[in-house]
């Protein structure tokens, strides 16, 4: 897919209409006395494209460095004037067929516009629809559409300064593993299962952390051993009192009942914590489920089929698949709920019975005569039994968590045995070798250096094995990071085409004035002859003579003609 056009409109008024072409597309700042960061809107053009591909609207009017400061003038202009951004993508810039028209505005609730090819979509449906149009064979939830296209759009610090780590700083190595196995065409059908198991492991770890908030399992076991010793000693002291037979029996019964009450109460509490964790996870998944009214789309989709004969799947299939996938995850996560709820009910019934029994025994004993010392022993025993029940319940829950973690890790190991088998590792090597042919060739042509991507099989701090991908200079010299990034993006486009992997054929780049003139000229020559659309924002007076030409400019901005023309 290429960018055909980007328009900024307010009602019938056209604020900007930007037409793109093959090869080099420059967004230039013509202001006099130019310095980096003139705020005329160069980077905002890139952000608007990203916005139409699902990015948060706040990126347009919030400083991406501070992430707090809002440009109120811009925000108010976009909202008050009901500004609409329209991005048109096409598979062929020459004949304009197979266009995807994306429309978004900055309003909320009923006034929000979030359309693809004229169809209004919810936030969740929007990304699913984009993915189905651009990556039709990718039906799994991971990697996400936004993750797949992250290397095509580079204006944030993470993507400007890193070749492969283009996502936010909170992204795990496991997610990068899934992303790059997909990008390099290393087919692995159990990627979703691995992510689900990792989610369950995180849940159990969180639950275990809550249970061990005060002490570790071994500490509870040690404390329980001491309590049992104390109970045995107290019972010996109590037995030395010369009491009637009935009182002795009733006291023993009362202590056992109190012990059972505390143990049952603690068990109910722990079961409710586990149920709440599962419900939270279920609610999060259910929030992603699509509730679209398919009947309203039937007429529109029939028209689409008559126009585009290549559509293989119905929109209903896509939505059903999305909902079915979420449904399976919900079933996977909530399969323990019936047994947990049954256990809670059974324990509540037991607790009710025990409380009645305690009430009867307490009433019976209170009518008996007892010694002051015996009362102290009984009070101590009661407290010891309470603690005993509490600790035994916690230990029981921790044993269950450990059993679950052992089971999940076993499942993870079974998946990893396939993922890290010699045969699959050979697939990874083969695909990387194919990619590196392009990467090394392009970097050698542009920089006289040879860059490559390698992988290492690492073990993270939780003992989980992962493929970790990284770029390096094959000449073992320091090289230039900006050059490495551009060469990677160019190489991936050629590699994806060679492997018939769907990809975006446009690359968005900010601050290209930081790149050496000679390399910028070479990149321009390369993309112009290789069916790649290279869109870059740059200060005009920093342009080398060879590409300081009108044919490369798609929009010219300045202090007197800023992107949104606010105030004109």
Q: Per residue in 121-131, pLDDT tens?
A: 999 999 999 99
- Among the ranges given (21-35, 275-289, 344-358, 536-550), the one the predictor scored with the smallest mean pLDDT: 275-289
Q: How far lies 35's CA from each of 62, 178, 284, 564, in Å?
A: 21, 40, 46, 20
| DSSP assignments along 127-196, one per residue | HHHHHHHHSTT--SSSS-HHHHTGGGEE-SHHHHH-SS--S-TT--HHHHHHHHHHHTT---TTHHHHHH
The residue with greater pLDDT, 556 or 514, is: 556
- Strands 153-154 and 119-120, by their bridges, are unpaired
Residue bearing tokens 């990149």: 523
The three-class DSSP label of residue 509 is: strand
Q: Which residue, among 82, 46, 148, has the nearest Cα to 504 in the 3D structure?
A: 148
| Lowest mean pLDDT segment, chosen from 446-455, 496-505, 506-515 | 506-515
The predicted-structure confidence for 242-252, as pLDDT tens digits, reads as follows 554 566 777 78
What pLDDT, on a 0 to 100 scale, did the predictor assign at position 433? 95
Whether the predicted pLDDT of 442 surpasses 90: yes
Helices (H), 10-134: 42-52, 58-61, 72-80, 123-134
What is the DSSP secondary structure assignment for residue 521, as one 8-state letter?
H
Neighbouring CB atoms inside 10 A of 553's CB total 17
Residue 28's CB: how many other CB atoms inside 10 A? 24
Q: Which of 37-41, 268-272, 354-358, 497-501 has the highest mean pLDDT?
A: 497-501
Neighbour count for residue 76 (Cβ, 10 Å): 13
pTM score over 0.85 = no
Q: Which residues contact 415 (CB under 8 A, 6 or more apart)?
A: 190, 193, 194, 197
The answer to whether residue 436 scores a pLDDT higher than 80 is yes
Rounded to the nearest integer, the mean pLDDT of the chain is: 85
**What percentage of the chain has pLDDT greater than the value 70?**
84
Torsion sign over Cα 529, 533, 535, 540: positive
pLDDT of res. 141 = 82
3-state secondary structure at position 244: coil
> Residue 135 pLDDT > 70, yes or no?
yes
From CA 415, how far away is CA 421, in angstroms rounded?
10
Q: What per-residue confidence (pLDDT) applies to 331?
A: 75
Beta bridge partners of 471: 453
Least confident of 111-120, 214-223, 411-420: 411-420
Cα 535 to Cα 43, 155, 167, 197, 507, distances in angstroms? 11, 11, 20, 40, 6
- Cα gap 330→453, rounded to integer Å: 37
pLDDT-derived band at 310 (thresholds 50, 70, 90) equals low
Burial of 213 (0-12, 13-18, 19+ CB in 10 A): exposed
Position 369 confidence tier, pLDDT thresholds 50, 70, 90: very low
C-alpha gyration radius of the chain: 33
Q: Contact, 528 vs 17, CB < 8 A?
A: no
Q: What is the pLDDT of residue 301?
A: 62
**How far apart (Å, rounded) are the C-alpha atoms in residues 124 and 287?**
9
């Amino acid at each position: 897919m290429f960018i055909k056009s980007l328009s900024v409109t307010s009602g019938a008024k056209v604020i900007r209409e930007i037409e793109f072409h093959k090869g080099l597309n420059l967004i230039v700042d013509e202001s006099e006395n130019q310095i980096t960061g003139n705020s005329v809107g160069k980077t905002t053009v890139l952000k608007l494209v990203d916005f139409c591909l699902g990015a948060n609207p706040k990126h347009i009017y919030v400083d991406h460095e501070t992430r707090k400061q809002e440009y109120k003038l811009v925000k108010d202009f976009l909202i008050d004037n009901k500004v609409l951004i329209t991005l048109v993508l096409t598979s062929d810039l020459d004949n304009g067929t197979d266009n995807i028209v994306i429309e978004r505005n900055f309003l909320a609730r009923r006034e929000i516009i979030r359309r693809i090819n004229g169809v209004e979509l919810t936030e969740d449906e929007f990304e699913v629809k984009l993915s189905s149009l651009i990556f039709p064979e990718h039906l799994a939830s991971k990697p996400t559409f936004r993750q797949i296209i992250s290397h095509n759009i580079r204006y944030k610090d993470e993507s400007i300064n890193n070749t492969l780590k283009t996502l936010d700083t909170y992204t795990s190595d496991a997610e990068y593993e899934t992303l790059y196995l997909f990008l390099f065409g290393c087919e692995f059908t159990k990627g979703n299962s691995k992510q689900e198991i990792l989610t369950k492991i995180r849940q159990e770890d969180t639950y275990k952390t809550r249970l061990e908030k005060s002490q570790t399992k071994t500490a509870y076991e040690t404390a329980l051993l001491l309590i049992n010793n104390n109970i045995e000693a107290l019972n010996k002291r109590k037995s030395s009192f010369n009491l009637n037979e009935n009182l002795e029996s009733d006291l023993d019964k009362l202590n056992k009942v109190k012990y059972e009450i505390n143990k049952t109460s603690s068990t109910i509490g722990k079961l409710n914590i586990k149920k709440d964790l599962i419900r939270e996870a279920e609610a999060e998944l259910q929030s992603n489920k699509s509730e679209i009214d398919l009947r309203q789309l039937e007429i529109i989709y029939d028209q689409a089929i008559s126009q585009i004969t290549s559509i293989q799947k119905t929109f209903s299939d896509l939505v059903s698949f999305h909902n079915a996938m979420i449904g399976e995850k919900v079933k996977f996560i909530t399969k323990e709920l019936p047994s947990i709820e049954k256990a809670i009910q059974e324990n509540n019934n037991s607790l009710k019975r025990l409380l009645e029994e305690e009430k009867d025994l307490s009433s019976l004993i209170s009518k008996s005569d007892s010694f002051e010392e015996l009362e102290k022993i009984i009070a101590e025993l009661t407290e010891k039994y309470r603690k005993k029940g509490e600790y035994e319940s916690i230990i029981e829950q921790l044993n269950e968590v450990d059993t679950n973690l052992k089971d999940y890790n076993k499942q993870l190991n079974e998946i990893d045995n396939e993922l890290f088998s010699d045969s699959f590792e050979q697939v990874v090597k083969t695909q990387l070798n194919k990619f590196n042919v392009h990467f090394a060739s392009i970097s050698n042509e542009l920089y006289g250096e040879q860059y490559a991507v390698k992988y290492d099989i690492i073990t993270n701090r939780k003992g989980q094995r992962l493929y970790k991908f990284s770029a390096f200079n094959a000449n073992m010299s320091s090289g230039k990071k900006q050059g490495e990034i551009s060469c990677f993006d160019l190489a991936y486009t050629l590699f994806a085409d060679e492997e018939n992997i769907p990809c975006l054929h446009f690359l968005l780049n900010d601050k290209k004035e930081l790149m050496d003139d000679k390399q910028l000229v070479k990149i321009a020559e390369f993309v112009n002859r290789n069916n790649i659309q290279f869109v870059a924002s740059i200060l005009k007076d920093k342009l080398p003579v060879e590409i300081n030409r009108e044919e490369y400019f798609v929009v010219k901005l300045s202090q007197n003609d800023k992107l949104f023309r606010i105030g004109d």
